[in-house]
Amino acid sequence: MAKRERVVRMSVEQPLWRALTAYRLITMVYAVLLFASAYRDFDRPWVAAAYLACLSGWTLATRRKVSGAAVCTKQFLVADLTVALVGILLTPLADTHERITAGGPTLPTIWTAGAVLGFALKGGWRWACIASSIVAVANIVQRGEPTRDTVHNVLLVWVASVAIGYVVEVARASEATLARALEIEAATRERERLARDIHDGVLQVLAMVQRRGTELGGEAAEIGRMAGEQEVALRSLVSSGLVHTSRVSRDESLGALVDAYEVEEPGGDEGETDLRTLLAPHAGAKVSFAEPGTPVLLPSPAARELAAAVGAALDNVRKHAGEGARAWILIEDWGDEVIVTVRDDGPGIPAGRLDQAEGEGRMGVALSIRGRLRDLGGTAELVSVPGQGTEVELKVPRGRTQ
Candidate from 9-18, 136-145, 218-227, 228-237 with smallest mean pLDDT: 228-237
pLDDT of residue 8: 47
In what order do the strands lie in the sheet containing 256-264? Answer: 2-10, 256-264, 247-253
Reported as half-sphere exposure (CB side, CA atoms, 13 A), residue 203 has a value of 24
Backbone angles phi, psi at 251, to 5 degrees: -130, 125
Partners of 329 in the beta sheet?
A: 289, 342
Specify the pTM.
Answer: 0.48
Given a cut of 90, whether residue 160 has pLDDT beyond it is: no
Query: Which pLDDT does position 27 carry in this prediction?
Result: 93
**pLDDT confidence of 158, banded at 50, 70, 90?**
confident
Cα–Cα dist 306/297, whole Å:
12
Inter-helix orientation angle 74-94/125-143, to 10° = 20
Calpha distance 131→192 (Å, rounded): 51
The three-class DSSP label of residue 202 is helix
Residue type, 180: R
Which pLDDT tens digit goes with each residue over 171-209? 788 877 877 777 777 777 776 666 666 555 666 677 777
Least confident of 144-148, 231-235, 238-242, 354-358: 238-242
SS3 130: helix
How many Cβ atoms sit within 10 Å of the Cβ of residue 213?
A: 20
Say if CB 356 and CB 365 are below 8 A apart: no
Q: How far apart are CA 151 and CA 64, in angstroms?
A: 32
Mean of pLDDT values over 146-150 = 69
Q: Place 28 in a pLDDT band, splitting at 50, 70 and 90.
A: very high
Reported confidence tier of residue 254, pLDDT bands at 50, 70, 90: very low
